[in-house]
A and B are shown apart, each in its own frame.
Chain A
């Protein structure tokens, strides 16, 4: 132990660098593992704690009949059901974050007695008033609201003014990405609202609890099979079913992806630490060869010497690991905030001893393994060899860049010479710079696509990036309306683009319908093609794997009472609707329902604001239009939560990248200066200036830094999409086409390169303090 502590004291800066690396790695690893392992149980605990429904089915009161209750009550595994009147607003509008969100809303009577999903307020005002409203917690964490703020709902031309009296916690309708949000009103306000809205907005919610909540998707699926006519995508009979497993997947997906990125980045930092340890062990054996000789000569065994080498790293890793874990608990509230923002639930941080233990043991195991492998040559060194300074390690095979023959600047040539003779060190820097550049590019590409150029990000949700959606009333002629809107000024294009639910080989699948897929801007088919003819269909790869059918196979599609067989022409991908999507042409859809004409028109605008266009259309065709939706605004609001989370990830990755580049170069250059002290002294003596030597040191790292940056850049350019695809594969993504913004990549590469050069120059400035005389005589 004394030897180990002496070794640590001897190489203080290396020990400090390693300490920092391991602290960062342990912190990221612990946070990532805690989030990954705790997220699902956390959500499940919340479902139980809040007594939220395992299945919730909403419909307008006209569509409701007691058969639904009977089905749910008698369904095997259901332990409790409740039926409650609600106000159901399909596509209500309200402000959320910095923009207006259009979302479905389920408004409950807060004073109703219920045992499923009772009101649980996290915060509330002390006083009550007639226009109080209780909104999900995500309105506070993500939507920018606070208690007492006014809150306006715009629905079917009417405006409903409230003020926020409390934030409620719910697992099932608490965030914008679920598609429906849960509000609660005091009884008087609820009854007033219910009287005011049209009949189709007076709804019913059926809630069920099950013995095994994992059975909830099956229950919902069986419900839609049993009552197929209820989920027909018709605006007059709006039905929405949610099960807790789907909601859990949607709510935890982004969080789990972020946690996976953190663990992956932790793995990179661990790799860097292991490389640093290898470098450090190798250096300390070479530098301490005399000491090893003395120790061996006085009777220390190789095992004792090895133990002292390993022990110093175990001491560092244990202390740094503990510091990292402590730090992870300091930072967890920050991640807890992100989790609350993405899930709408209050994150309760727990002390997870097992994960902490796993994190430290994993790090210690890897460090001991690498240290042993690097230090094993100590066993082969004889005392006499060690006392003589070890076996000669210089290679005399090649004098790289002989000055006599090579052209070019002397200092550049000397720098390149020193680059070429430090192969091990160069490999280490190359790997580290490549890995860091790749990580930095990965995070920047992710952020660029989520925050800046959102096209590809939106595409993976299967959203068609039009500007405005016009929802036509069922009694209006959609075709005429489409042609009329096309003629309006500033309208570039209009497509009919419906989303309905059909059954494909007995699986309930969300299916798009349009006239001609080539006219859409977002083609989600990655293999094969979208359907062209009436007997063709494309299905997502998740559906494909569920029904075990692929391109060239035929599938049976059921809609209402009709069934037809279709040829699968392509495989698609989508994060939306859990990746269970398909696509039919309008002609194909009409094979199932000859009167089908669709209701959703997607309008692409140029030179007019979405709001102005929506006002214009509403004024012109008010009686034929059910709703209009600002798609851009909606996308902006819904991607806001991802932007913040991805920005945090990018910030962490870039900060750590800078820190690691600085530390690695500091460590390596300091070691270089110590090892080559006499050489630099001689060079100073024969007339080299400090600046020339600093430049030589810095330039000697440039080739390997350049190679690392270029390799990282190339890997980032070609492998960011495959890596993200892999990360998002659980969510339904098979092949990702995120924009790889070359200027961003170049900027990152140049920034890392410049950073490395500046850091090298700054660190090598320590040569200035040492006189030629001092260098030689020290």
Chain B
């Protein structure tokens, strides 16, 4: 039986600006399962990223509960959330956001050293992960600006998973990459998911969405559709693509 890792209850997020209120998430009840590769899709302004950042403890909900691995995030202070994030969440951003003035290895260690006490083990692990995602040793001392977009995003993924997070959150991780780079990054996501890493990923892209086993479609701040797509497999890709297309057509995408 697969365990629920994140569960929300009546999750609301409202933004106020200039006296007007914008209700971005409306009474969302959602359960995400351990080991799943969950894709969140929806049109612009549907609340995808807002949901991602609320689920990951990056932002506080306006109302409602978020149970993340048995912890109620809504009751956490900002600093408690920070400590929670460093242990249990990993983030991959569309704009990558590596720290400009640090080398590749330091970018990874900046996150890892927050949790690990054994530096030697951590450095070893960081190097292994970098190798696994195709970042070879000659690039470890490079600065982010010296990497290609795909390379930088793969470093971003290593930084995100160095602390073995319970869930890896990704906000349009291939949005700023060309096709070849996208594929290499998506392969890394698939690879780590296959090894048991839970992933929640926001995307507009069909090819990216196909990597997930579940697709949640948001519309106007509510869950409009929820598709069980099954695990990613090169062999069944066409069939899954048709299923996804059909689902999205139903959603009005």
A residues at B contact (CB < 8 Å): 392, 394, 396, 399, 402-404, 410, 414, 417-418, 421, 678-679, 681-691, 768, 771-774, 776
A403 near B114: Cβ-Cβ < 8 Å: no
A683 near B58: Cβ-Cβ < 8 Å: no
A686-B86 contact, Cβ under 8 Å, with A404-B106, A410-B114, A414-B110 = yes
A399-B106 contact, Cβ under 8 Å, with A392-B145, A776-B97 = yes
A contact residues around B145 at 8 Å (CB): 392, 394, 396
**Of B86, B90, B143, the contact of A399 (CB 8 Å cutoff):** B143
A contact residues around B83 at 8 Å (CB): 687, 689
Task: Tell me if B133 counts as interface (CB < 8 A to partner A).
Answer: no
A687 near B86: Cβ-Cβ < 8 Å: yes
Least Cβ distance of B57 to chain A in Å? 9
Least Cβ distance of B53 to chain A in Å? 5
A686 near B93: Cβ-Cβ < 8 Å: no
Least Cβ distance of B42 to chain A in Å? 17
Please encode chain B, from 95 to 128, with 1 for each CB lying within 8 Å of some chain A CB and 0 for all others: 0010111110110011101110000000100000
B146 near A403: Cβ-Cβ < 8 Å: no
Task: Tell me if B78 counts as interface (CB < 8 A to partner A).
Answer: yes
**Complex A-B: 24 CB contacts under 8 Å:** A394-B101, A402-B103, A402-B141, A403-B109, A403-B110, A417-B106, A679-B97, A682-B99, A683-B99, A684-B82, A686-B86, A686-B90, A686-B91, A686-B110, A687-B82, A687-B87, A687-B115, A689-B79, A690-B78, A771-B59, A771-B60, A772-B58, A773-B53, A776-B93
Task: Tell me if B166 counts as interface (CB < 8 A to partner A).
Answer: no
Interface centre among B86, B99, B111 (most CB of A within 10 A): B99
A417-B102 contact, Cβ under 8 Å, with A687-B114, A771-B58, A776-B93 = yes
B contact residues around A776 at 8 Å (CB): 58, 93, 97
A685-B91, A688-B114 are known; give 8 further A-B pairs, CB within 8 A. Answer: A394-B101, A396-B146, A679-B100, A686-B110, A686-B114, A687-B84, A690-B78, A772-B85
A contact residues around B60 at 8 Å (CB): 771
Task: Tell me if B48 counts as interface (CB < 8 A to partner A).
Answer: no
In the assembled complex, the Cα of A686 lies from the Cα of B89 at a distance in Å of: 8
A contact residues around B93 at 8 Å (CB): 682, 776
A686 near B85: Cβ-Cβ < 8 Å: yes
Task: Tell me if B219 counts as interface (CB < 8 A to partner A).
Answer: no
**Top 7 A-B pairs ranked by shortest CB distance?**
A687-B86, A773-B59, A403-B109, A689-B79, A399-B103, A689-B82, A682-B97
Q: Which partner residue on chain B sits nearest A410 by CB separation?
A: B113
Task: Tell me if B240 counts as interface (CB < 8 A to partner A).
Answer: no
B contact residues around A410 at 8 Å (CB): 110, 113-114
Least Cβ distance of B70 to chain A in Å? 19
Interface centre among B59, B87, B102, B103 (most CB of A within 10 A): B102
B78 near A771: Cβ-Cβ < 8 Å: yes
Q: Which partner residue on chain A sits nearest B109 by CB separation?
A: A403
In the assembled complex, the Cα of A684 lies from the Cα of B115 at a distance in Å of: 14
A396 near B143: Cβ-Cβ < 8 Å: yes
B contact residues around A399 at 8 Å (CB): 102-103, 106, 141, 143
Task: Tell me if B159 counts as interface (CB < 8 A to partner A).
Answer: yes
B contact residues around A402 at 8 Å (CB): 103, 105-106, 141
In the assembled complex, the Cα of A688 lies from the Cα of B82 at a distance in Å of: 6
B contact residues around A684 at 8 Å (CB): 82
Least Cβ distance of B66 to chain A in Å? 14
Least Cβ distance of A174 to chain B in Å? 66
Q: Which partner residue on chain A sits nearest B104 by CB separation?
A: A399
Interface centre among B79, B82, B91 (most CB of A within 10 A): B82
Least Cβ distance of B96 to chain A in Å? 9
A685-B113 contact, Cβ under 8 Å, with A394-B100, A402-B105 = no
In the assembled complex, the Cα of A494 lies from the Cα of B75 at a distance in Å of: 82
In the assembled complex, the Cα of A681 lies from the Cα of B82 at a distance in Å of: 11
In the assembled complex, the Cα of A690 lies from the Cα of B82 at a distance in Å of: 8
Least Cβ distance of B17 to chain A in Å? 13
In the assembled complex, the Cα of A679 lies from the Cα of B99 at a distance in Å of: 6
B143 near A394: Cβ-Cβ < 8 Å: yes
In the assembled complex, the Cα of A732 lies from the Cα of B103 at a distance in Å of: 61
Q: Which partner residue on chain A sits nearest B96 by CB separation?
A: A682
B86 near A688: Cβ-Cβ < 8 Å: yes
Q: Which partner residue on chain B sits nearest A405 by CB separation?
A: B123
B123 near A404: Cβ-Cβ < 8 Å: yes
Least Cβ distance of A405 to chain B in Å? 9
B79 near A690: Cβ-Cβ < 8 Å: yes
Interface centre among A392, A418, A683, A687 (most CB of B within 10 A): A687
Least Cβ distance of A767 to chain B in Å? 10
B100 near A403: Cβ-Cβ < 8 Å: no
B contact residues around A396 at 8 Å (CB): 142-143, 145-146
Least Cβ distance of B128 to chain A in Å? 14
In the assembled complex, the Cα of A689 lies from the Cα of B123 at a distance in Å of: 23
Interface centre among A417, A683, A776 (most CB of B within 10 A): A776
Least Cβ distance of A681 to chain B in Å? 8
B contact residues around A683 at 8 Å (CB): 99, 110
B contact residues around A417 at 8 Å (CB): 101-102, 106
In the assembled complex, the Cα of A418 lies from the Cα of B106 at a distance in Å of: 13
In the assembled complex, the Cα of A156 lies from the Cα of B159 at a distance in Å of: 92
Least Cβ distance of B129 to chain A in Å? 14
**Of B97, B113, B159, the contact of A403 (CB 8 Å cutoff):** B113
A contact residues around B89 at 8 Å (CB): 687
Interface centre among B84, B93, B114 (most CB of A within 10 A): B114
A contact residues around B91 at 8 Å (CB): 685-686
In the assembled complex, the Cα of A410 lies from the Cα of B119 at a distance in Å of: 11
Q: Which partner residue on chain A sits nearest B100 by CB separation?
A: A394
B contact residues around A690 at 8 Å (CB): 78-79, 82
In the assembled complex, the Cα of A683 lies from the Cα of B85 at a distance in Å of: 11
In the assembled complex, the Cα of A678 lies from the Cα of B85 at a distance in Å of: 17
In the assembled complex, the Cα of A256 lies from the Cα of B35 at a distance in Å of: 81
B contact residues around A392 at 8 Å (CB): 145
A contact residues around B78 at 8 Å (CB): 689-690, 768, 771
Q: Which partner residue on chain A sits nearest B60 by CB separation?
A: A771
B contact residues around A774 at 8 Å (CB): 59
Least Cβ distance of B160 to chain A in Å? 8
Q: Which partner residue on chain A sits nearest B59 by CB separation?
A: A773
**Of A418, A421, A678, A771, the contact of B97 (CB 8 Å cutoff):** A678
B contact residues around A681 at 8 Å (CB): 97
A contact residues around B85 at 8 Å (CB): 685-687, 772
Q: Which partner residue on chain A sits nearest B123 by CB separation?
A: A404
**Of A679, A691, A773, the contact of B79 (CB 8 Å cutoff):** A691
In the assembled complex, the Cα of A688 lies from the Cα of B87 at a distance in Å of: 11
B111 near A403: Cβ-Cβ < 8 Å: no
B contact residues around A772 at 8 Å (CB): 58-59, 82, 85
A685 near B58: Cβ-Cβ < 8 Å: yes
In the assembled complex, the Cα of A169 lies from the Cα of B97 at a distance in Å of: 75
B contact residues around A687 at 8 Å (CB): 82-87, 89, 111, 114-115, 163
In the assembled complex, the Cα of A685 lies from the Cα of B82 at a distance in Å of: 7
In the assembled complex, the Cα of A423 lies from the Cα of B79 at a distance in Å of: 31
In the assembled complex, the Cα of A404 lies from the Cα of B122 at a distance in Å of: 9
Interface centre among A403, A418, A690 (most CB of B within 10 A): A403
B contact residues around A686 at 8 Å (CB): 85-86, 90-91, 110-111, 114, 159-160
A contact residues around B53 at 8 Å (CB): 773
Q: Which partner residue on chain B sits nearest A414 by CB separation?
A: B110
Least Cβ distance of A424 to chain B in Å? 14
Least Cβ distance of B139 to chain A in Å? 12
Least Cβ distance of B15 to chain A in Å? 11
Interface centre among A399, A683, A774 (most CB of B within 10 A): A399
A contact residues around B100 at 8 Å (CB): 394, 679
Q: Which partner residue on chain A sits nearest B81 by CB separation?
A: A772
Least Cβ distance of B113 to chain A in Å? 4
**Of A418, A678, A682, the contact of B101 (CB 8 Å cutoff):** A418
A contact residues around B109 at 8 Å (CB): 403-404
In the assembled complex, the Cα of A403 lies from the Cα of B83 at a distance in Å of: 21
Least Cβ distance of B91 to chain A in Å? 5
Least Cβ distance of B12 to chain A in Å? 16
